[in-house]
Structure 1
Amino acid sequence: MPTSEPRPPMSKADYVYSVLLDEIRSARIPGGTALRAGAVARRLGVSVTPVREALRRLENDRLISYEAHHGATVVDLGEDALEEFYGLRAVVEGLGARLAAGRITDEELGGLREVHAAMVRDAGRGRNDLLGEQSRLFHLGIADIGGPAFLGRHARAVRNSFPVPATASLWLDDAQVGPQLEAHERILDALARADGTAAERLMIDHVRQAGEYRRRR
């Protein structure tokens, strides 16, 4: 019987990093907020050392910056950064869709269709609050299939680099849900046909439309 190796416990620095990353990405800690190592340490029940290590990692991610006499501050990204973010997502995720069309297996396609079907069910029940995370899994699943060595990791890094407030998700807008689900369906059909050109074009258009919606908001 196959056995799995025990997974090492998360270090305190990893724990602090994961908490702060989630809070910044979801804008629970908004841009411009000062992060004091001592205050974070007390809130999370750890010493200052792992907090400082986590802050260095967030600085490498360009999510925080250090200023004289102010310490660490969450970066407040403006409209130019928003345009660059969605443009980069379109390129990376579009490439992922094109590559995925040439190598996707029936099992992998079935997994993506299950995610899509769950989104359709939740949308029908009015559970729009669940759709954003499911959409993230759908997009990153395609990127992982298209580029398991590098591209999937880069797609995650791009998404992690820009905090998107939960209230800014287009999936919370009833008028957007239908068209976005239809876009996912068309992408799935292109993947099933192994049509990489169509899959890439559809993914790029889909991501760019999300960017336009965010800019209007």
Structure 2
Amino acid sequence: MRATPADRPGPPRSKADYVYLSLLDDLRNARIPGGTPLRATEIAERLGVSITPVREALRRLENDRLIRYEQHHGATVVDLSPSALLEYYEVRAAVEGLGARLAAERITDAQKAMLRGIHSRMLEEAAAGRYELLGELSRELHLAITDIGGPSFLGAHARAVRNSFPVPAAASFWLSPEQARDHLAVHERMLAAIEAGDSEAAEQLMVSHVRFAGRYRSESAAGS
């Protein structure tokens, strides 16, 4: 799994930072699914720290609305309702769509090459049948586009939205060879629009792409 410089955290400043970033990574990559109870003592033992930094990290995750506390149950990973899931993808579509629009207006040749590099890696992984790697590479591509479009604020907002509720691996449409082929083609058209400076087409393609992911996710959740 490759991380962009903006995604790669620096050295944790404290044990609480270490616990927070470790749990955030587990949540973002859906290694801890929604509805899972979080036991502070178990986390402390697994990460080799005392209970105090774990409690501090859990409070931070609660502020991020990634976990909630319930009486007699303790901390539980948030699981989105169908309406909240729809809202999540609509917010993503708005933020990432704007990122694509702005990227088409300001992208440099070096940035075009960087985006093409990520897309080429996705094509290579798909050709090799490694579909489980495509979801993270797609995330990298989307955030790179948003960083180009809005380096001051928009990229950070896109990360905050995505980190607020990660996609379980089993719910990713990138695991389907047919869907992967179709959406690699969408990525190709979106990159072409950005490279051509067609901001309207770039935004429309990104919005429809993200909304499709939301519909796919909702249908997967309904069928589980």
- TM-score, length basis structure 2: 0.90
TM-score (norm. length: structure 1): 0.93
1:1-217 correspondence to structure 2 within 5 Å: 9-10=11-12, 11-217=14-220
Pairwise CA distance, 1:83: 0.6
Structure number with greater Rg is: 1
Equivalent residue pairs, number: 211
Name the CA shift for 1:119/1:56 in 2 (closer, same or farther; >3 Å): same
Q: Which amino acid aligns with 1:9?
A: P
Q: Which amino acid aligns with 1:213?
A: Y
Deviations 1:60-117 (A, max 9, x none): 1101111223221211212111111111100000000001111100000110001101
Following superposition, the deviation at residue 14 of structure 1 comes to 1.6
> How far 1:8 moved relative to its partner?
6.8
Q: Which moved more, 1:13-22 or 1:171-180?
A: 13-22
* Deviations 1:9-43 (CA, angstroms, capped at 9, x unpaired): 31211211122122223333222222222221112
Alpha-carbon RMSD across the aligned residues, in angstroms, is: 1.4
Point out 4+ residue stretches in structure 1 off by more than 3 angstroms: none
Query: What does the per-residue CA deviation read over 1:129-171, in whole Å, with 9 as the maximum and x for residues that have no partner?
Result: 1111110110000000000000000000110011311111111
Unaligned residue ranges in structure 1 (runs of 5+): 1-6
Question: What is the percent sequence identity of the aligned residues?
Answer: 64
